[in-house]
Structure formats: structure tokens, C-alpha cells
Amino acid sequence: MSEGTRIRMHDESAPHDSPPAAQAPAVELLGITKRFPGVLANDNVNLAVRHGEVHCLLGENGAGKSTLMSILSGMQSPDSGHIRIDGEDATIDSPRRALDLGIGMVYQHSALVPALTVLQNLMLGESRSLRLPVDTARQRLRELASVLGIEIDPNAEVRKLALGQQQQVEIVKALWRGSRVLILDEPTSMLTPQGVADLQKVLVRLKSQGIAIVFITHKLHEALAIGDRISILKSGRLVATFSEEVLRSRTPDELQALIVETMFGEEARAVSGVAELQGEIEGERKRRELAPEPILELAGVSARAEGTGPGVQEVSLALRRGEILGIAGVDGNGQRELAEAIAGQRPITTGEIRLQEASIGHLSVSTRQRLGLRYVTDDRLGEGIVHSLSVAMNLVIKRIGQQPFWQRGIVQQGAVNKLAQELVKDFDVRTPSVAARAGTLSGGNIQKVLLARELSFDPQVVVYNKPTQGLDVKTTRLVRQRIRDQAREGVSALVISTDLDELLEMCDCIAVLYRGRLAGTVENGPDAGERIGELMIGGRAA
Amino acid sequence: MTETAETPLAHPSIPDFVAEESLPRESRLSRPLDTLIRGVGPVVLALIAGGILLLALGRNPVTFYGDIYQGGITHDAWQDTVMRMAPLLLIAAGLVFIFRANIWNLGYDGQFMLAAAMIAGFAPKLEAHLAVWLSLVLLFLVAGVTGALWTVVPALLKAYSGVNEIITTLMMTFIGLSLANVLVKGPFQDPTINTPQTTALPLSGMLPNIPHTRVHVGILVAFAVILIVHYVLTRTSLGLRLRVLGANPRTAVHAGIGVKRLIVTAFLVSGFLIGLAAAAEILGIWGYVRADTNFQYGDAVIPFVFLARLNALAVVPFVAFYSLLSIGGEQATQNANLPTDFLLLIVGLILLFMSLTEYFGRKRDLGGSYLTAGLAQALRRKAENA
């Protein structure tokens, strides 16, 4: 099939030319059930997505959202149930088949090749003819860009684009072959507030083109702002779908109450301060009195980058006892390097790091750890734990060889297990036993293991890198509560996050990291969000 | 260069393989069955395939395998088999120790032969001055230290500059083998004979035998070392550090483990144990080293180290099997009028079936890997670059 015919085909079938039977939903999932060993990931799920609507899929981690969508995009096949596309039964047995049926997917993390240009990325799937159809592709990109109301330089290297723009390229890619169903998996998690607004505009335009959009999120306020209908998944079952009428006929507050009730049932009342799971962060935080002298001080600290990033360049900041200092910024602006430099995992090239007035810039990771400087890494699976070791061992992995867990180099399994059992209880780690392999735990529980490890044995300063990324609402709440509780006890926290709402909710002060430098620091308050948003994209105008 | 950049980063999606801890994560088979299939399966299949090959060559496989059994077990032959196990077990211990840390010391031949040449050269002189038992103890130490020293260059390059140890250790092997030759033909040459070899030790200067057998005590050293290595790897802080480094070098850095020192330690211990293997072989069996010899025991041991999933204890039955094959096989190949290389073919078949089991295991969702994440990644990178 040549490029030309495919585009024409798309044009013929494009919804705005000949609306495909408005009554039949674009996609219908009927009685979808999918079992994994020990888990019922989807339990008789019925879901219909109409043309020209944004259908939000809300649910906690592990509720089955991803499984359901991977079934729709052909990555998994259901154990039972079937799928109808435009009212016709369809078998989606491969991602290619899904694309052929017009189902495009945008993943949470970029699936683009950073070193290639936008156009090259878009043509990656075009392996059918030997010669790359550059001109037709350029034409197609122009066409889609005008549909989406965006501007993309076809020759820009993807790695040089902002994350929001990369996502736009992903959307173009998903629509490239004439998709009529677009699945977005937590699309806002990496975006700035401006990026979210841009995305929203794009979605509105897509809707008007009759594209059916599935929008997966666990942020309630987003679902309410963007969704025409909202479906809620809970432990594999679709517990409710709120129609447009319901959404329109109630006030936002009523809706939130309703949805929270549906999502958590009885637990809703137990979730204190539901506001935070709703993303409401209006500045009711009390200004806290903090001692003026810093406990952790960075003076002109620079560190080399990992890969092509900017690294850390002459960052100076001071953290007072009990303070929660946020580091905002779009991902990839030196966050990880900064955290690693403080933790001692990355050598600093210039500057000085002082902990309680002692210079620690030259000390080893383990010495800093012993001094009470802790680091909760963002890469839980790839760095935080050893999958093959037990939960108990992972809890003492930063104290290998130390008393009382090791005596003369010999492990004291009793002491290790005792500590592990206490920590598991304290931090509510859900694990069959402390001897279970850490790799078998869910992401949220792994994060609890990391917290337990870093917050035990007298922490002074804790560096958190994206502490709640990918966690469900309950765990998120628990993590934030821990950070706050610790701060009240005088443990300072440096919270690095790309989720601005999170920082606004917790932090006393928020600094913005832009291309490895601190672009500015903002006291938290009612207008902090806007000012930070501006700093986050700081140099872009230049 | 930063610490994280120096060590190969394990990819989180590749199942990390640290012996029994990391059997396939989502295997549909029970663990014992899985271990059995993955461990013994390739051996059985290789024997069957070898049998078919023998048939094709017009030999009777039953006779052949019977001859191996006879030549390796019956009468006194089992004693030879046990003696062959000594150096193999010691090398295996050295390899398991460092492989657990996901570091690939492939310089065993150089370490072994250099250590062999050193003690073969020193032994007669030493025993002329010291009591035999003291000499033997010292010679074991000399062998160990020589083996360890021969890993220093790759160890430092790996630890401080991130140089791929597979390449450096292989290169050091060439130098080591040549240096061993220089020593044997030069300073250690027995002046009384024309063949290029060291002065042979008298029987009284060799390792004593276990009472009532012909088996030298080297095998006891080997078993002791296997037990110690297993204990160190499973019960001590050093062992845990090695396993963490092997499972995920980034976690090792994150956990504050002194990765550089640990890499050097792993190399030194590995080289030391391989040196001990040379001592057991030379002082137990040969009493001298001839120029241009290379026992190549390490090459034979490697597949079994992987079949044992880097578990020091599990290595023992595999090494016993190989010893039987190589001792009994000498007679069997002679009877069948085949070159002894036919035995290598069986080892090769084991490797082949190991890969096939691995491939189908993965395809059938059994997960797991003989390769550690780091090695798998290194190999893949090599394939991509090619």
C-alpha cells in the first residue's frame, strides 16, 4: 500500500467527512475479563467510548486501567469478552491490528527516538517501501498539525523539544495512520501547567473532529476539567460511568464528593483532607516558624550531567531545619543530578555542600547516609531496590556490614528480620512476609520500603526525588503525610518533583530548576503557582 | 567519569540473575522442577545427541558411554576422577565468586598457568630448604598470590576507568601464558634435561594422599574452598555487597557500597582461588610444568558454572560429571577410535542445549536467564555495534 492511498483512505473514513453511524460507539468493550496469576486485572468490564468525546478513565494504580488499555491496543488479549469497533466485532490480536483498526496510543513516557528528527520519528513505522516517503510525510504532518492547531518543526531533533511538544509529536504519531480512537495514558504527569493547558486545547480540537479519546488519569480535578464522561475502575471492575448529564447537572464540589465516594466507598471518610487527592491546593497552609540557620547548604554546586542533560550548574540553596523545600522544574533539567550530587552518588565539580556546617562534598555516600543525609530515589525499580533480594535485606542494604545486623561480617538474620518487621508494620508495607523478594512488590509498596529505609536511624535531611510519581492516591497521601510529619519533627526535606500541585501543597519554599540552574525561589502562597510556572519555562522566550 | 557511568547499568526489565535468588520470576513451573530442567536438561540432551552422533559415526553409544563409566568409576578409576575435580572446583569457586558480582574474569588460563609455572619453579628450591609441609603451604600461597596479581591490571582498569574486563582479562591471558613459557624455558628450566620443563618434584615433595587412596589432599582444599565461598556469598556482608553489585550496579552506588574497592576485591579473590587450582594440580598430580602447556580447565568449567546458576554448592555435581567425562572419556575415545576432542564436542553440545533451553524457556514464559543482566546487556550491545 502506498503512502498516498493510505492518506486518501484516511480522508474517506475521517469522521468529519462521513460521520460513521453516530449511534454506534467508536469502541465498545463488552465483558472484558483478564486474569493474571493471582490477580483478576479486569473483571467483566463494559466500556463504550463515543466519537467526539473525551472519556476519562479514573482509578488507582492496579485498578486495571492499564490492562484494559493494553487489551484495546493489542498488547494483551482478553481471557473473555469482545471488542466492537464502530459497531462491528473486531479481534485485536496485535498492536499492528489495533493501528489498522484506527486505535492510537500515547504512552505516559515518551516512545520517541530522541536523536531523530520529528519527521524521522513519524516515519519509523513506514517500513513497507524501501524509499522513505519524505514529501508525503511532510504533507501529512502539516495536515495533522493544522487539525491539532499546533506548530511542529518537522526537522527538529526530538530531544531538543520540550516535553509538551514531544507529547504533541506522540499524538501526531498516534493519529498518523488515521486513528479514530486515541488513548492517552496519564498524559499530564510530565507537563507544566502551560503544557496541560495546551494539551487541553488539542483535545478539544480532536473532539470536534469526531475522534474518540480515552484519557487515563488518577487526578480527579483533571478528569473533571477535561472529561465529557468519567468511568471509574476499582480492583478490575468498572464501578461507575458518569454521564454528561450527571457531570453537567452538579456542582464541582458535589461531583468530587460523589466520585471520591465511588472510588473509595467507606474509605473516603478515612482519607483525611480529600482536597489533596482532588488536587485542590489553595493556600491554606500555615506559615511555619523556622529557625534561620541552614542545616543543609549548597554553595555554587556543579555536577556533570548524565547523558545529554544540562547537569547541575552553580546551584546554591539553603535548607533550614524542619523546612520542606521544593525543587520544581520540567523533567530533565538537572533534577536527578542535583539529588545525586547531594547524596554523594555524583561527584561535584565545583562548589561546596555543607551539612550542619560541616563540609560533606567529598564524603562517600555511606558516610553521608550515616550523618543523616538520606536520598529517596525516583528510580525505585532501577536503583532503589535489588529485585532478587528479600524485602528485609533491601531495608538494610544501606547498612551492610554495620551493627547489629552484621557481626564480624556475618549477617544476623534475626536482627535484620526484627527491624524489617517493625518497619514493614510502621510504614504499612503490604508484603506476604519480610522474606518475600522485593521485586514482587507493587510500586507503592516498594516506595514504602524506600521510605522506611531512608527515614529510619535518625535522618536529618531527606532528599526526595519525585516521591509520589506513579503512586496511587492512598500511598501518595501517606508519603506526603510522612514528609510533613517528619518536617514537624525537625527533619528537613528537599522535595524534587515535576508535579507542581504536589509542591504547592507541601512546601514552605519552592525553587525552580531550569537547565541545571536555579531560576529562582518562590515562597509558597496563593500566587506561587503562576510565578513558578513562569520560572519553569523561564528561558524559553529568549 | 562518574561512578555510575563506569559500571554497566543493569536494565530493570531484564531479570537479574543471581543464582537461586533469581530463578525465573514468573515461571509456570515449580522451582525445583525448573532448576532440574534447566540444570540437568541440557546435559541429558547433550548425551542423547552425542549418542546419535556416535551412531552416525558407526559407533555404539551404549559401549561408548559404558566405557566412560568404566574408565571413570570402576576399579580405581574414580580416584582419578576425584583428583581431576580438585582444580576444576577451585577454578569454579573463583569464577562463581566474581561472576556473582557481574564481573567477567575470563583470564583464568593466564592466571592458572602463571601460578603453575611459578610454583613448579619454586617448589624444588623451597623444599630443599624448608620442611615439605611448610613448603607446600607456602607454595599454595605463592600460587594464590600469583593468580591474584595477574588480575590487578584488569581490576584497576575496570574499577577506575570502566574498561571492559572481558577484553582485558583475555588479553592478560595471552601475556600470562607467554610469561609462563618464558619462566619455564628460562630461569625454571630443569638444567639436567633437554625438554623445556621445570625440575620435577620427587614424589615425597608432592601433596600427600588421603589415607588408603591415591587421591591427594588438594581435593579437600577444593571442597573447603567451595564451602567457604558459598558461606561468604550467602551469609556475609562481603557476599551481599557482591550480590548487590551483580544484581544492580546502580543500587550498589545508591546504597553507598564502595564499588571500586569491591571490584578490585572480587578480582583478587577470584585470581587467588584460580591460583590455588594451579597449586592443587601441579603439586598433586604433575610435579612439574612443561613449556607450551595450557590445561584450559577454565574453559571446561564455565558452562557448568552457569548450569549451576552461580551457586557454589551446585557446581559440585556438574564438576563431578565433567571429571568423569574427561577421565573416563580418554579410554572410551581410544576404544572407539575417536580423537579425545570428541569429549569437547559433548561439552559443546551441552552449551548448545543450554542456549536452546534458555531460548525456549524464555519463549514459553518461563523467564529467567543464565546470563546476568549485565552480561546479557554487554552481549546485546556488542551485537548492536557489530
Q: Are residues A220 and A79 in the same domain?
A: yes
Structural domain for A345, as ranges: 294-541
- Asked whether B376 and B14 are in contact (CB, 8 A), the reply is yes
Residue whose C-alpha cell reads 613449556 in the numeric block? B291
Bridge partner list, A88: A85
Concatenated DSSP letters of A259-312 = HHHHHHTTHHHHSS-GGGTTT---S-PPPPP--SSEEEEEEEEEEPPSTTS--E
Q: What's the average model confidence in pLDDT over A304-319? A: 85
**Cis peptide leading into B202, omega within 30 of 0?**
no
Q: How many CB atoms lie within 10 A of CB A137?
A: 19
Pick from A346, A369, A400: CB nearest B240: A400
Structure confidence by residue, pLDDT tens digits, B322-335: 999 889 888 889 88
d(CA A31, CA A341): 51
Q: Are residues A69 and A156 in the same domain?
A: yes
d(CA A426, CA A515): 39
Q: Are residues A420 and A300 in the same domain?
A: yes
What b/e sequence results for A491-509 when a residue is b if at least 16 CB atoms lie within 10 Å of its CB, and e otherwise? bbbbbbbbbbbbbbbbbbb
d(CA A524, CA A326): 9
Q: How would you list the strands of the sheet with A509-514, edge to edge?
A: A373-376, A461-465, A492-496, A324-328, A509-514, A517-523
Name which residue leads in pLDDT, A61 or B224. Answer: B224
Burial class of residue A246 (count of CB atoms within 10 Å of its CB; 0-12, 13-18, 19+): middle
Between chains, do B235 and A381 touch, taking CB under 8 Å as contact? no
Pick from B25, B241, B253: CB nearest A400: B241
Return the CATH architecture of domain B3-385: Orthogonal Bundle (1.10)
pLDDT score of A281: 41
Structural domain contains residue A280: no
Of residues B319, B317, B308, the one with CA closest to residue B370: B308
Concatenated DSSP letters of A75-94 = SS--SEEEEEETTEEE---S
Residue type, B222: A
Between chains, do B248 and A344 touch, taking CB under 8 Å as contact? no
Of A276-285, A392-401, B80-89, the one with minimum mean pLDDT is A276-285
pLDDT score of A288: 66
Q: What's the average model confidence in pLDDT over A250-274? A: 67
Of residues B386, B318, B337, B366, the one with CA closest to residue B93: B318
Rg (CA), chain B: 21
Name which residue leads in pLDDT, B369 or B300. Answer: B300
Q: Are residues A479 and A359 in the same domain?
A: yes
Structure confidence by residue, pLDDT tens digits, A94-115: 888 888 888 988 887 777 888 8
- Asked whether A49 and A230 are in contact (CB, 8 A), the reply is no
pLDDT score of A61: 67
Residue type, B224: A
d(CA B271, CA B257): 22
- The helix/strand/coil state of A115 is coil
Q: Is pTM, for the whole model, over 0.80?
A: no
- Asked whether B29 and A399 are in contact (CB, 8 A), the reply is no
Concatenated DSSP letters of B208-238 = PBPTTSS-BTHHHHHHHHHHHHHHHHHHBHH
Name which residue leads in pLDDT, A65 or A455. Answer: A455
Q: What's the average model confidence in pLDDT over A253-269? A: 71
> Given a cut of 80, is residue B21 above it in pLDDT?
no
Structure confidence by residue, pLDDT tens digits, B246-272: 998 999 999 999 999 999 999 999 999
> Given a cut of 70, is residue A420 above it in pLDDT?
yes
Structural domain contains residue A183: yes
ipTM over 0.85: no
Between vectors from CA A225 to CA A220 and to CA A230, what angle results, nearest 5°? Answer: 60
d(CA B231, CA B97): 11
d(CA A298, CA A447): 27
Pick from A345, A382, A389: CB nearest B12: A382
Task: Quote the minimal CA–CA distance from A488 to chain B in Å.
Answer: 27
Which chain B residue is nearest to residue A370, measuring alpha carbons?
B256
Structural domain contains residue A257: no
- Asked whether B328 and B68 are in contact (CB, 8 A), the reply is yes
Q: What's the average model confidence in pLDDT over B303-323? A: 89
Of residues B382, B381, B369, the one with CA closest to residue B13: B369
Between vectors from CA B301 to CA B274 and to CA B9, what angle results, nearest 5°? Answer: 80
Q: How many CB atoms lie within 10 A of CB A380?
A: 23
Confidence of residue A387 (pLDDT cuts 50, 70, 90): confident
Between chains, do B251 and A369 touch, taking CB under 8 Å as contact? no
Task: Quote the minimal CA–CA distance from A368 to chain B in Å.
Answer: 9
pLDDT score of B33: 75
Confidence of residue A406 (pLDDT cuts 50, 70, 90): very high
pLDDT score of B93: 97
Which chain B residue is nearest to residue A402, measuring alpha carbons?
B237
Q: Are residues A243 and A389 in the same domain?
A: no
pLDDT score of A65: 83
Phi and psi at residue A227, to the nearest 5°: -80, 140
Bridge partner list, A317: A298
Separation in Å, CA B124 to CA A319, B114, B182: 69, 17, 18
d(CA B375, CA A458): 38
Residues of A in contact with B243 (CB under 8 A): 386, 388-389
- Asked whether A68 and A42 are in contact (CB, 8 A), the reply is yes
Best of A337, A383, A396 to substitute, by most chain B Cβ atoms within 10 angstroms, is A383
Domain count, chain A: 2
CB of A414 within 8 Å of a chain B CB? The answer is: no
Residues of B in contact with A404 (CB under 8 A): none
Residue type, A299: A
Structure confidence by residue, pLDDT tens digits, A352-374: 999 998 999 999 999 999 999 99
Residue type, A372: G
| DSSP 3-state percent helix, strand, coil across chain B (nearest 5) | 70, 0, 25
d(CA B250, CA A239): 41
Residue type, A527: D
> Given a cut of 90, is residue B22 above it in pLDDT?
no
Residues of A in contact with B236 (CB under 8 A): 406, 409-411
Phi and psi at residue A358, to the nearest 5°: -100, 135
Name which residue leads in pLDDT, A408 or A526. Answer: A408
Counts for chain B of helices (H) and strands (E), in that order: 16, 0
Q: Are residues A94 and A161 in the same domain?
A: yes
Structural domain contains residue A40: yes
CB of A366 within 8 Å of a chain B CB? The answer is: yes
DSSP A211: -
A123: Cβ contacts below 8 Å, ≥ 6 apart: A132, A133, A134, A137
> Given a cut of 80, is residue B167 above it in pLDDT?
yes
Q: Are residues A213 and A320 in the same domain?
A: no
Concatenated DSSP letters of B275-322 = HHHHHHHIIIIISS-BTT----HHHHHHHHHHHTTT-HHHHHHHHHHH
Structural domain contains residue A391: yes
Which chain B residue is nearest to residue A376, measuring alpha carbons?
B254
d(CA A470, CA B334): 66
Of residues A386, A372, A374, the one with CA closest to residue A446: A386
Q: Which helix (H) or strand (E) holds B98?
A: helix B77-99
Q: Are residues A235 and A301 in the same domain?
A: no
CATH number of the domain encompassing residue A174: 3.40.50.300
Task: Quote the minimal CA–CA distance from B181 to chain A in Å.
Answer: 41
Structure confidence by residue, pLDDT tens digits, A46-96: 999 999 999 998 877 667 888 888 888 888 888 888 899 888 888 888 888
Q: Are residues A99 and A232 in the same domain?
A: yes
